[in-house]
Amino acid sequence: MGHVEMGDGMSLVLVGLGSNQGESVAIVEAAIQRLQAYAAAGSMRRSSLYRTSPVDCPPDTGDFINAAVGFHPRAGLTPETLLADLKALEQEFGRPAVSPRNAPRPLDLDLLAFGDERRDTPRFQLPHPRAADRLFVLAPLTEIAPEFEWPGNACTVQTLLEALQTDEHVERLSPAVATERT
């Protein structure tokens, strides 16, 4: 399998989702539904929901609900237009336009990869610079795209997960029991 192809010549877009404010399960589920608008027909794959420990967050930050989606982009979609739309969607769900890094938030959407596209600008980096080092990203991605080769290092998502050494806590939630705990 090629490093960005899914067997039909189309690039794969990967987006990570997270929430740790408000009704996080409902927020992530609603955001997943909204992301379908960016996917070519019938191409959306979604992971389970995961309860994850905070990483590099302020003290007393609560657990997150995380997930990932993968899809072939609809015609005309670029990394730049998708990133702008992801930021607008975060704000629609209540995230301030400017907030401290890794602060608690109702919705966090990260453009993890857009096929083999690469970006290194003041606005953003692609692939996401820390995604391959985060269990809360790799665990959901392994469900939907285990053979995706991470741009720039030629390792699959599955290989990155197997090699990861971390003290993060990640608990896969069954959709039937994916309820909020306080």
Q: Which domains does the chain have, with CATH numbers?
A: 13-177 (3.30.70.560)
pLDDT of residue 99: 67
Query: 124 versus 85: which is more confidently predicted?
Result: 85
Residue 3 has pLDDT above 90, yes or no: no
Give me the pLDDT at residue 1, please: 32
Q: How far is CA 142 from the centre of its chain?
A: 12
Binned at pLDDT 50, 70 and 90, residue 179 comes out as very low
pLDDT of residue 97: 74
Question: Can you tell me the distance from the alpha carbon of 83 to that of 151, in angstroms, rounded to the nearest whole number?
Answer: 18
Check residue 104 and give its pLDDT.
77
Q: What are the start-end ranges of the H helices in 93-148?
A: 135-144
Residues identified as active-site: 95, 105, 108, 110
What confidence tens digit (pLDDT) does each residue in 92-115 have? 998 877 666 767 789 999 999 999
By DSSP bridging, strand 49-52 and strand 13-19 are: unpaired
pLDDT above 70: percentage of residues in the chain: 86
Categorize the per-residue pLDDT at 182 as very low, low, confident or very high, splitting at 50, 70 and 90.
Answer: very low
* 22-33 tens-digit pLDDT: 999 999 999 999
Residue 16: is its pLDDT beyond 70?
yes
Residue-wise pLDDT tens digits, 121-155: 988 899 999 999 999 999 999 999 999 999 988 89
pLDDT of residue 174: 67
The rounded distance, in Å, linking the Cα atoms of 19 and 132 is 19
Mean pLDDT, rounded, of the chain: 87
Q: How many CB atoms lie under 10 A from the CB of residue 96?
A: 11
pLDDT score at 61 = 82
Beta partners for 46?
69
Where does the pLDDT of residue 7 fall: very low under 50, low under 70, confident under 90, or very high at 90 and above?
very low
pLDDT for the residue numbered 57: 80
